[in-house]
A and B are shown apart, each in its own frame.
Chain A
């Protein structure tokens, strides 16, 4: 079976409740009060489960303030709930990720799944009634893209949207005018190779200090103690949706000669194992990422003369090809992808849904919640292509009962110990397992932050249609985080077209989201940078900064 089948689920009767008060609404918006047991003033998890069962709900969507988790105190999902037991697949609890609890009551076989609104809306700080309304609006804006229920998680919703979006066979007058598109499942060995050798987002701190990679080949670009004129936060707009076009499908291994020949074709999609050397003239951020085996994470060496071997996508190699000399890299082998459009329909449907969300006649915060949910669907669906299913959280009362092979994932919450058991891939899951898609999308994101298409703008007297980190003055680059870029100056390319910039409002454009005027010291760590990012986003882009972006061209420079 290669054609994935969408989940065919009916909507689970749901209660939307505040975790602390237990108050909320049901699917029809009717007010719900918790059924409190004993002499409790505030509901315990048991009360919430009993309330759900009483109202015939099979799902609890919780929001509000949750108790913090620590090794000394039981996780709020692992407290004793008399009469209820973990059901089916068991719970999913991992660090600070949105947890899932699955319970059933043997006496009447009632099942309740406990989920948190944060999984969809990115925050716990959302009122139950708002969350319910937002979820209904998500369903509404997705429209025909997703008939039936949204599913249990954003990834499940996205997988169903993708499965529905795959072109089926079309006939006219009994003649087949369009063949059905069934995604090709690639060889498991190649799939494993791609999975093992492809990274996700580029995250790099470029300021001298402890957050800068300590390999010796990652040279900091901004000195720690030198004042900077300000902090500019740039982010890609709904970036993933712009990266899903014409993703390569299938996969076959290439010999060294075949791979070298294929790199000559600028439109050929593939992954290549290359040996590269950073050119002597290079003075800005690195282009090709390398997995640091000793540290277990990726880095982007930029020290002239540094030599590494790594796997890169054709789009990343194309950037290196443009900015470095041809002898800076050597192709050693490759994987060829064929032309395809497996995600085009999916992306355009997600975009249409986002457009409809923007046109909703609703409160701003409600629209923001809907957009956040659509973003979660998009991101988690791409991530799910790389995964073979969710781990299952097992609970035991003694660490001595944890099987040795799972001891690495152990966690202790008060008297309960948990460990994770990797999911056993089923045939159905395998139909959704396409690391070749996710690896291409992530590579495109990394390439876009280096150099992205823009609307036409005036670049130092010349019309230009692209801009990215490679175009910026290296001394203004503070860091990269996925599709976000942090600079010490506002680049014109990331301003709206009306202000002379290259942001025409289309998805995938890099645009300024906030600016903190300086002078200030550069953020020494990624945590400090994240704090500045939040502050910059809250401040936005003041008119004066847009108007005074005459100094902007100082942030741009040529490299060799």
Chain B
């Protein structure tokens, strides 16, 4: 095991590629301050090793770091927000995408970019609603950060269509247009696919069953953050509804 890098080395190596600590912490399901401490060598962070190795190799986590358990076998409580008592940690979000069900995963990219991946069931109101909401959250994230965004849309017939692969869309423009479609990101994506892939003989009933949303590029100061996102930082936040 002498050749195995330490958690500190891995964090520093991943950070050297421009990955923000906040995103890295989000993927490890830990607070950024913990990762800063590991990066500074103040804590060993051994339980983070498998997740950090995954990220270093593939950009995404296959195994979420396990929570320390108490004598009762339950996860040890984590510190609450200032002035609030400690609480049980949030349930872990599955790291692997699950085809045919709602799932939400992330791959980290160099320079602070990321791919937010959403899968949706073909039918089932709740799952599809969750997937649409998650897609809106990813779009809002790009708009908040004034970045560009591109999409790979997956359909039930296994076909895929790329949108914005030549430089992407401005995050705020996509957000405004998707909000204009009754806040339904899938509705907007369907229209956009029609416009781009007009020669396709795609079946009438083909359904969006997944979207990869790539948020990339340097923040553009000329891109205005939509007013509602500016006014309410809790609106459309990726992963905010995790229990």
Contacts and interface: CB of A to CB of B under 8 A. Distances in A.
Interface in A222-248: none
Interface residues of A, number: 44
A380 interface: no
Contacts of A325: none
Interface stretch (B54-62, B74-82, B130-138, B223-231): B54-62
A402 interface: yes
Nearest to B114: A399
A498 interface: no
Contacts, number: 141
B108 A400 contact: yes
Contacts of A105: none
The list of the 7 closest CB pairs from A to B, nearest first, reads: A68-B158, A404-B111, A407-B216, A399-B59, A408-B168, A409-B165, A408-B150
A261 interface: no
Interface residues of B, dominant DSSP: mixed
A399 B115 contact: yes
A184 interface: no
A393 to B, nearest CB: 11
A96 B164 CA distance: 15
Interface in B127-177: 148, 150, 152, 154, 157-162, 164-169, 173, 176-177
B131 to A, nearest CB: 14
Interface string B194-207: 11101111111010
Q: How large is the interface on B (under 10, 10 to 19, 20 to 34, 35 or more residues)?
A: 35 or more
Interface of B: 14, 17-19, 55-60, 97, 99, 107-111, 113, 115, 117, 148, 150, 152, 154, 157-162, 164-169, 173, 176-177, 180, 187, 190-192, 194-196, 198-204, 206, 210, 212, 214, 216-217
Interface of A: 68-72, 94-96, 201, 203, 205, 210-211, 214, 294-297, 397-404, 407-412, 415, 417, 420, 481-482, 525-528, 530-531, 534
Contact of B159 (A96, A408, A411, A534): A96
Contact of B99 (A72, A398, A404, A409): A72
Nearest to A298: B195
29 contacts: A70-B158, A71-B97, A72-B99, A95-B160, A96-B159, A96-B200, A203-B198, A205-B194, A294-B176, A296-B164, A398-B57, A400-B19, A404-B217, A407-B216, A408-B164, A408-B214, A409-B162, A410-B115, A412-B107, A412-B115, A412-B212, A481-B198, A525-B194, A527-B204, A527-B206, A530-B200, A530-B201, A530-B204, A534-B201
